[in-house]
Chains A and B, each alone.
Chain A
């Protein structure tokens, strides 16, 4: 197994899991707050930010991408950005992003 850099310890993995659980709890709380206060765009921005934070934590620490060969990072990030750009353009062209923002 390739242990190129020092990976987090089990205790650190547990702490990361607690952070992920807290972020998920905040997401669910935001969902209910939005039901009452109709936060609209702010709610969407906050939920997407929290999802991005969870995504980066899992990829960086649990998948060890931040400790791996930079080539893997380029492949993975490249695929992600390609998909995001492609479908972002498609959804914008079809008016979905405008409808959902409105």
Chain B
């Protein structure tokens, strides 16, 4: 009966399954693919309500500050570069480099979040567009707010890894996989913003 147990698989590759991929990595990719459904629902919700007239103004598309959001988008795109450079530095066992790029990624993410807080504050204080002004505003805050929450979680994970690296003098192989997983999450947040920037900001039409 003991012949049934596949010892070699249990022995050296405890985290591997028959797929040849680390379970946590496979799990992260499946999680990210499921996130498409989550953000797809929020983007569809925005598209459904963005130009539905008959409600009090302003609508989001009337007050977007495209130059400001373009800079925010650029910052988030560049944070993907610093993230991949952190991953690359760690793969070369350049612990200082990995730590520096991790911190840079967290800093750029924080700048993006600061920009979002400024944008929301501006919309509410200057234009009076609150969560309940009209369905388009609700959909806008819901979508970009949830994206911002994802960025905030990403920043916390990045700073945690940075802190572990500082405390332990570097990231071990186990934490190296953590960095890879956080990197995947971070890039995913970036690609969702690529879609949001185009569909929500650049292609939005206010109701006539």
A residues near B, CB below 8 A? 1-3, 7, 9-10, 13-14, 16-17, 20-21, 24, 27-28, 30-32, 44, 47-48, 50-51, 54-55, 58-59, 61-63, 69, 71-72, 75-76, 78-80, 82-84, 86-87, 90-91, 94, 96, 99-100
Asked whether any CB of chain A lies closer than 8 Å to the CB of B131, the reply is: no
Instruction: Report if A48-B198 is in contact (Cβ < 8 Å); known contacts: A75-B29, A100-B205.
Output: yes
Binds A, one of B3-11, B30-38, B109-117, B156-164: B30-38
B48 to chain A: closest residue by CB = A96
> In the complex, are the beta carbons of B80 and A62 less than 8 A apart?
yes
Once the chains bind, are A47 and B33 in contact (CB under 8 Å)? no
Chain B, residues 40-66, CB within 8 Å of chain A (1/0): the string is 110110011001000000000000001
A1: chain B residues within 8 A (beta carbon): 90-91, 173, 176-177, 180
Query: Do B37 and A82 touch (CB < 8 A)?
Result: yes
Query: How distant is the Cα of A56 from the Cα of B22 in the complex, in angstroms?
Result: 24
- Known A-B contacts A72-B21, A75-B30; the reply to A59 vs B191 at CB < 8 A is yes
Interface size band for B:
35 or more
Of A21, A72, A75, which is within 8 A of B77 by CB?
A: A21
Q: What is the bound-complex CA distance between A69 and B20, given in angstroms?
A: 8
Q: Determine if A31 and B202 form an interchain contact, defined as CB atoms under 8 angstroms apart.
A: yes
B30 smallest CB distance to A (angstroms) = 6
Whether B133 is near chain A, meaning CB under 8 Å from some CB there, is: no
On whether the beta carbons of A24 and B70 are closer than 8 Å, the reply is yes
A55-B195 contact, Cβ under 8 Å, with A1-B176, A78-B33, A94-B48: yes
Residues of the B chain whose Cβ atoms lie less than 8 Å from the Cβ of A91: 44, 47-48
> Is B51's CB under 8 angstroms from A47's CB?
no
- Top-3 shortest CB links A-B: A79-B33, A83-B36, A83-B40
